[in-house]
Amino acid sequence: MRLLCSHAEKKTSHLSLFFKVASVRCFVTTCRAVLLPRFGGPDLLDLRPDVSVPVLNPNEVLVRARAVSINPLDTRMRSGYGRSIFEPLLPLILGRDISGEVAAIGTSVRSLTVGQEVFGALHPTAVRGTYTDYAILSEDELSPKPASITHVEASAIPFAALTAWRALKSTARITEGQRLLVVGGGGAVGFAAIQLAVAAGCHVTTTCGSRSIERILAAGAEQAIDYTAEDVELAIKGKFDAVLDTIGVQETERIGINFLKQGGHYMTLQGETASYSDRYGMAIGLPAATAVLLKKQIQYRSSHGIEYSWTYMRADSEGLEEIRRLSEAGKLKIPVEKTFPITQVREAHDAKDKKKILGKVVLELD
């Protein structure tokens, strides 16, 4: 660890470093980070050289970031999604995904060691995100990085794959031989869901754009329907045990529900908890969203005999370990379309906002 600290000192002279010898830990007290002072456009993202790094809690890990991917949640949060939670906590640091090296560990951390390469993702509501040289995650949000992939490749995986994992394994509890429909299999979450389901021995059908078809079939999906060129309802064959809807508009919800078997699970990624809270404030918005969800659950149970849920990403150390194992074996990949240095974070967000880049974008930190 001393070696790591002196190494870090040499490479990052702009940082102030501090040794806590008694607990054999090395802390960085300030580092570069992208701050969001208020909600709005990409130009608000402000890369600062000297943002303070909090002291680690016992279960936390300080990670020297090498690559952080951009998720739709980052651009949405920047624009004000979740303001009912985040407004009082501004300035924020955006970013959920990370790949890097352990720089220091809290006193109760047992599974990771300083210097180890790790990847992982923060919970959706974390305030101090990963767009920084030194991010803080809890031990169960991290796993050793698959050795067979780069930091850039690794950083694209955890948030999307854990979202898919939560839906498929915790909510629908998919098992071998079941049939899954993924609406929007071309995106990061949809593509992760396809690969997780194929690895679990499920039969997967998906809708996606034409540019994604080849990649999706190569990943083991049995049918990929081009939603831009085909009539999706005519093209889908048979009924499904579970539907993961990554698009979650009225039309895809209707199709998803109609193609489920009795007792099947419909899961949308577009739950409305945050949007109701943003619109009406937490005190009214949260119960209102719960009422909307309950009403739909009761309606669909009685009209179609199916389970309806809003599904959200959640840290899950068992899930992350399986994701690590599959990524290591080359069975779970999220293609990265473009990388930007962290100094160009505004350009990267602008490109995502304007849909100039459809695939995954990763920010690199040297």
Ligand X SMILES: NC(=O)c1ccc[n+]([C@@H]2O[C@H](COP(=O)([O-])OP(=O)(O)OC[C@H]3O[C@@H](n4cnc5c(N)ncnc54)[C@H](OP(=O)(O)O)[C@@H]3O)[C@@H](O)[C@H]2O)c1
Site string for ligand X, 257-286 (x = CB under 6 A): ------------x-x---------------
DSSP 50: E
Q: How far is the CB of 116 from ligand X (least distance, A)?
A: 27
Q: Which of 178, 112, 90 is nearest to 317 (CA)?
A: 112
- 47 DSSP β-pair partners: 34
Q: How far is the CB of 225 from ligand X (least distance, A)?
A: 9
Q: Which residues in the 205-244 window bind ligand X by CB under 6 A?
A: 207-209, 211-212, 227
Q: Which of 242, 237, 271, 227 is nearest to 181 (CA)?
A: 242
User: Measured from the CB atom, is 171 or 178 closer to ligand X?
Assistant: 171
Specify whether the CB–CB gap between 79 and 40 falls below 8 A: yes
DSSP secondary structure of 221-235: -SEEEETTTS-HHHH
- 160, 181, 289, 315: residue in contact with ligand X (rule CB under 6 A): 160
Specify whether the CB–CB gap between 51 and 28 falls below 8 A: no
- 124, 144, 256, 285: residue in contact with ligand X (rule CB under 6 A): 124
By the rule CB under 6 A, 358 interacts with ligand X = yes
What's the CA dihedral at 84, 86, 89, 95 to 10 degrees? 180
Residues 6+ apart with CB under 8 A from 139: 59, 60, 61, 105, 106, 108, 109, 110, 111, 112, 317
- 221 DSSP β-pair partners: none
User: Measured from the CB atom, is 134 or 227 closer to ligand X?
Assistant: 227
- 100, 158, 186, 264: residue in contact with ligand X (rule CB under 6 A): 186
Q: Which residues in the 289-328 window bind ligand X by CB under 6 A?
A: 311-313
Site string for ligand X, 55-74 (x = CB under 6 A): ----------------xxx-
Q: How far is the CB of 224 from ligand X (least distance, A)?
A: 9
Q: How far is the CB of 131 from ligand X (least distance, A)?
A: 17
Q: How far is the CB of 163 from ligand X (least distance, A)?
A: 4
Residues 6+ apart with CB under 8 A from 38: 44, 90, 91
User: Measured from the CB atom, is 178 or 207 closer to ligand X?
Assistant: 207
Residue 273: both structure tokens together = 């908890």
Q: Applying CB under 6 A, which part among 35-43, 135-143, 188-196, 322-330 lies near ligand X?
A: 188-196
**What are the CA-CA distances from residue 179 to residues 53, 172, 220 (Å)?**
46, 11, 13
Residues 6+ apart with CB under 8 A from 77: 36, 86, 92, 94
By the rule CB under 6 A, 189 interacts with ligand X = yes
By the rule CB under 6 A, 246 interacts with ligand X = yes
Q: How far is the CB of 207 from ligand X (least distance, A)?
A: 4
User: Measured from the CB atom, is 18 or 312 closer to ligand X?
Assistant: 312
Q: How far apart are CA 277 and CA 240, in angstroms?
A: 33
By the rule CB under 6 A, 247 interacts with ligand X = yes
Q: How far is the CB of 195 from ligand X (least distance, A)?
A: 13
Interface positions with ligand X (CB under 6 A): 71-73, 124, 160, 163, 183-184, 186-190, 207-209, 211-212, 227, 246-247, 269, 271, 311-313, 358
